[in-house]
Chains A and B, each alone.
Chain A
Amino acid sequence: MTSTADRLVEFDEVLTRYEPVIGLETHVELGTASKMFCGCATTFGAEPNTHTCPVCLGMPGSLPVANAAAIEATIKIGLALGCRIANWSRFARKNYFYPDIPKGFQTSQYDEPLCVAGHLDVEVDGTTHRVEIERVHLEEDTGKNLHVGGATGRIHGADHSLIDFNRAGIPLVEIVTRPVPGAGRLAPEVARAYVTELREIVQALGVSDVRMEQGSLRCDVNISLNPVGDLEWGTRTETKNVNSLRSVERAVRFEMRRQAAVLDSGGRIVQETRHFHEDTGTTSSGRSKEEATDYRYFPEPDLVPLAPDADWIEKLRAELPELPAARRTRLQQEWGISGTEMTWLANAGALGLVEQTVAAGASPGDARKWWLGDLARRANEAGTELGELAVTPAQVAELVRLVNEGTINDGLARQVLDGVLAGQGDPAQVVEAQGLAVMGESDELVAAVEAAIAGAPDVIAKVKAGKVQALGALVGAVMKTTRGKADAPTVKRMLEERVLGS
Chain B
Amino acid sequence: MTGTSSDLTRVDVAGLSRLLSSGEVSAVEVTRAHLDRIAADDGRLGAYLHVEDDAALAAAAAVDQARATGAELGPLAGVPVALKDLVVTEGVPTTSGSKILEGWRPPYSATVATRLAEAGTVLLGKTNMDEFAMGSSTENSAYQVTRNPWDTDRIPGGSSGGSSAAVAGHLAPWSIGTDTGGSIRQPAAVTGLVGHKPTYGSVSRYGLIAFSSSLDQAGPMARTVLDAAVMHEVIGGHDPRDSTSIDTPLARLADAAREGAAGDLRGVRVGVVRELGGEGHTDGYEPGVLVRTREAIEVLASLGAEVTEVSCPSFDLALPAYYLIAPSEASSNLARYEGVRFGLRAGDDGSRDLDEVMAITREQGFGPEVKRRIILGTYALSSGYYDAYYGQAQKVRTLITRDFGAAFADVDVLVSPTTPTVAFPIGTRVDDPIAMYAADLCTLPASLAGLPAISVPSGLSDGLPVGLQVMAPALADERCYRVAAALEAAQDAARGHRLLDELGTPAGAA
Residues of A within 8 A of B (CB): 54, 57-66, 93, 95, 97, 99, 102-105, 161, 163, 294, 296-298, 301-304
Q: Is B435 positioned at the interface, with any CB of A under 8 Å from its CB?
A: no
With contacts A95-B335, A97-B358, A105-B335 taken as known, whether A63 is within 8 angstroms of B382 at the C-beta atoms is no
Give every chain A residue within 8 A of B495 (Cβ-Cβ): none
Q: What separation, in Å, do the CA atoms of A64 and B210 have in the docked complex? A: 13
Q: Are A54 and B108 in contact (CB under 8 A)?
A: yes
- A250 CB to nearest B CB, Å: 32
Give every chain B residue within 8 A of A63 (Cβ-Cβ): 205-206, 241-243
Q: Are B208 and A302 in contact (CB under 8 A)?
A: no
Give every chain B residue within 8 A of A54 (Cβ-Cβ): 106-108
Closest to B89 in A: A61
Q: Are A294 and B382 in contact (CB under 8 A)?
A: yes
With contacts A60-B209, A62-B207, A298-B328 taken as known, whether A99 is within 8 angstroms of B340 at the C-beta atoms is yes
Residues of B within 8 A of A (CB): 86, 88, 94, 96, 101, 104, 106-108, 110, 205-210, 212-214, 240-244, 328-329, 331-332, 334-338, 340-342, 354-355, 358, 378, 381-383, 386, 390
Closest to B239 in A: A63
Q: What separation, in Å, do the CA atoms of A64 and B241 have in the docked complex? A: 7
Query: With A54-B107, A97-B335, A296-B381 given, can you name 19 additional A-B contacts, CB distance below 8 Å?
Result: A54-B106, A59-B108, A60-B101, A60-B337, A61-B94, A61-B207, A61-B209, A62-B207, A63-B205, A97-B355, A97-B358, A99-B338, A103-B335, A297-B386, A298-B381, A298-B386, A301-B213, A301-B214, A304-B243
Interchain residue pairs A-B with the least CB separation, the first 9: A104-B335, A296-B381, A301-B213, A301-B214, A61-B88, A61-B207, A60-B209, A104-B336, A99-B340
Q: What separation, in Å, do the CA atoms of A99 and B208 have in the docked complex? A: 23
Q: What separation, in Å, do the CA atoms of A61 and B342 have in the docked complex? A: 13
Q: Are A104 and B209 in contact (CB under 8 A)?
A: no
Q: What separation, in Å, do the CA atoms of A102 and B206 have in the docked complex? A: 17
Give every chain A residue within 8 A of B382 (Cβ-Cβ): 294, 296
Give the interface centre of A58, A66, A294, A301 by most chain B CB atoms within 10 Å. Answer: A301
Q: Which of A102, A163, A302 sits near B336, CB closer than 8 Å?
A: A102
Give every chain B residue within 8 A of A61 (Cβ-Cβ): 86, 88, 94, 106, 110, 206-210
Q: What separation, in Å, do the CA atoms of A404 and B337 have in the docked complex? A: 70
Give every chain B residue within 8 A of A64 (Cβ-Cβ): 243
Closest to B90 in A: A54
Q: What separation, in Å, do the CA atoms of A59 and B209 have in the docked complex? A: 9
Give every chain B residue within 8 A of A59 (Cβ-Cβ): 88, 106-108, 341-342
With contacts A61-B88, A104-B338 taken as known, whether A95 is within 8 angstroms of B381 at the C-beta atoms is yes
Q: List 7 A-B contacts (CB under 8 A).
A: A59-B106, A60-B94, A60-B209, A65-B242, A297-B386, A301-B213, A301-B244
Q: What separation, in Å, do the CA atoms of A47 and B481 have in the docked complex? A: 52
Q: What separation, in Å, do the CA atoms of A149 and B94 have in the docked complex? A: 36
With contacts A60-B88, A298-B332 taken as known, whether A65 is within 8 angstroms of B214 at the C-beta atoms is no
- B89 CB to nearest A CB, Å: 10
Closest to B377 in A: A296
- A109 CB to nearest B CB, Å: 15
Q: What separation, in Å, do the CA atoms of A303 and B201 have in the docked complex? A: 12
Q: Are A296 and B378 in contact (CB under 8 A)?
A: yes
- B346 CB to nearest A CB, Å: 16
Q: What separation, in Å, do the CA atoms of A344 and B486 have in the docked complex? A: 83
Q: Are B390 and A298 in contact (CB under 8 A)?
A: yes
- B364 CB to nearest A CB, Å: 16
Give every chain B residue within 8 A of A104 (Cβ-Cβ): 332, 334-338
Closest to B386 in A: A298
With contacts A60-B336, A103-B335 taken as known, whether A65 is within 8 angstroms of B381 at the C-beta atoms is no
Give every chain B residue within 8 A of A303 (Cβ-Cβ): 243-244
Give every chain A residue within 8 A of B108 (Cβ-Cβ): 54, 59, 62
Closest to B358 in A: A97
Q: Are B107 and A93 in contact (CB under 8 A)?
A: no
Q: What separation, in Å, do the CA atoms of A301 and B201 have in the docked complex? A: 12
Q: Are B243 and A66 in contact (CB under 8 A)?
A: yes
Q: Which of A60, A93, A99, A302 sits near B244, CB closer than 8 Å?
A: A302
Q: What separation, in Å, do the CA atoms of A63 and B88 have in the docked complex? A: 12
- B342 CB to nearest A CB, Å: 7
Give every chain B residue within 8 A of A57 (Cβ-Cβ): 341
Q: What separation, in Å, do the CA atoms of A145 and B363 have in the docked complex? A: 25
- A491 CB to nearest B CB, Å: 75
Q: What separation, in Å, do the CA atoms of A330 and B131 have in the docked complex? A: 66
Q: What separation, in Å, do the CA atoms of A235 and B214 have in the docked complex? A: 40
Give the interface centre of A58, A61, A105, A301 by most chain B CB atoms within 10 Å. Answer: A61
Give every chain B residue within 8 A of A65 (Cβ-Cβ): 240-243
Q: What separation, in Å, do the CA atoms of A302 and B214 have in the docked complex? A: 7
With contacts A65-B241, A302-B243 taken as known, whether A97 is within 8 angstroms of B338 at the C-beta atoms is yes
- B244 CB to nearest A CB, Å: 6
Give every chain A residue within 8 A of B334 (Cβ-Cβ): 104
Q: What separation, in Å, do the CA atoms of A298 and B212 have in the docked complex? A: 13
Q: What separation, in Å, do the CA atoms of A99 and B335 have in the docked complex? A: 11
Closest to A38 in B: B241
Give every chain A residue within 8 A of B244 (Cβ-Cβ): 301-304
Q: What separation, in Å, do the CA atoms of A54 and B88 have in the docked complex? A: 11
- A471 CB to nearest B CB, Å: 80
- A50 CB to nearest B CB, Å: 14
- B188 CB to nearest A CB, Å: 23
Closest to B355 in A: A97
Closest to B335 in A: A104
- A193 CB to nearest B CB, Å: 36
Give every chain B residue within 8 A of A304 (Cβ-Cβ): 243-244
